[in-house]
Structure 1
Amino acid sequence: MDRVNELAKMKAAVIFTKSSCCMCHSIKTLFYEMGASPAVHEIDRDARGKEMEWALQRFGCNPTVPAVFIGGKYVGSARDVLSFHLDGSLKDMLIEAKAIWF
């Protein structure tokens, strides 16, 4: 849990993913298209990936990936992020966290 917390706070936008997850790819693409450069941690390619997956489950991430953190706070999964994007609040969150500038 500590490692996930540390990684989540290292950058304004952080996404925990798996390399084979299509929704993870979609969320990363959304962030890139919005001008953000998130830290991406592919837990299936990390030696401590299983531990991180368990920690993400304890955070309430279901499914565990993609798990998005903005400004060090857990924002949600793909469904949550897409919902925030559609109502315009994702952009506001990214601006507030200084992940993008306008």
Structure 2
Amino acid sequence: MAEAINRLASQKGVVIFSNSSCCMCYAVKILFHELRVNPMVHEIDLDPEGREIEKALLRMGYSTAVPAVFIAGKLVGSTNEVMSLHLSGSLIPLLKPYQTMP
């Protein structure tokens, strides 16, 4: 399943594994939208293999499976890691290649 996650994570510059009813997932999606990034969002609760994807994401080392944010095919982390990067000024340089014009 980890191979499938990596394959999905590499399909677009910014990929978010999410749960459609998760408020933290929603917050991360809104942040990216406000930063003019249109990520590929994979709602694992709507995927027949969602449970397996969730288990594989947890095995990657995070206490929560979603949101799991990938930038340029690399796992950045969950809400805490994304917000920490944003507050430190490190997120926007990572997202620059994926931002749309205003």
- Report if TM-score (shorter chain) is over 0.5: yes
Amino acid in the other structure paired with 1:26: A
> Aligned-residue CA RMSD in angstroms?
1.2
One-letter amino acid of the counterpart of residue 73, structure 1: K
- TM-aligned CA deviation for residue 23 of structure 1: 0.4
Q: Which amino acid aligns with 2:11?
A: M
Please report how far the alpha carbon of residue 61 of structure 1 lies from its aligned counterpart in structure 2 after TM superposition: 2.4
Structure 2 length-normalised TM: 0.93
1:20 corresponding residue in structure 2: 21
How many angstroms does 1:59 deviate by? 1.2
- Residue matched to 1:85: 86
Q: CA deviation at 1:101?
A: 5.8
**Secondary structure, aligned partner of 1:16:** strand
Aligned residues: 100
Q: 2:98: which partner in 1?
A: 99
Partner of 1:38: 39
Amino acid at match of 2:86: H
Aligned partner of residue 60 in structure 1, secondary structure: coil
CA distance in structure 1 between the partners assigned to 2:63 and 2:17 by the alignment: 12
Asked if the contact 1:36–1:99 (Cα under 8 Å) also holds between the matched residues in 2, the reply is: yes
| Partner Cα separation in structure 1 for residue 78 and residue 14 of structure 2 | 13
Structure 1, unaligned stretches of length 5 or more? none
State the 1:49 CA deviation: 0.5
Distance 1:101 1:92 in 2: 14
What is the CA distance between 1:73 and its match in structure 2? Answer: 0.2
Taking only the aligned residue pairs, the percentage that are identical comes to 50
> Match for residue 73 of structure 1?
74
Is 2:4 the counterpart of 1:3?
yes
Runs of 4+ in 1 over 6 A off after TM superposition: none
User: C-alpha distance in 1, partners of 2:19/2:100?
Assistant: 28
Q: 8 Å contact 1:62–1:77 — kept in the other structure?
A: no
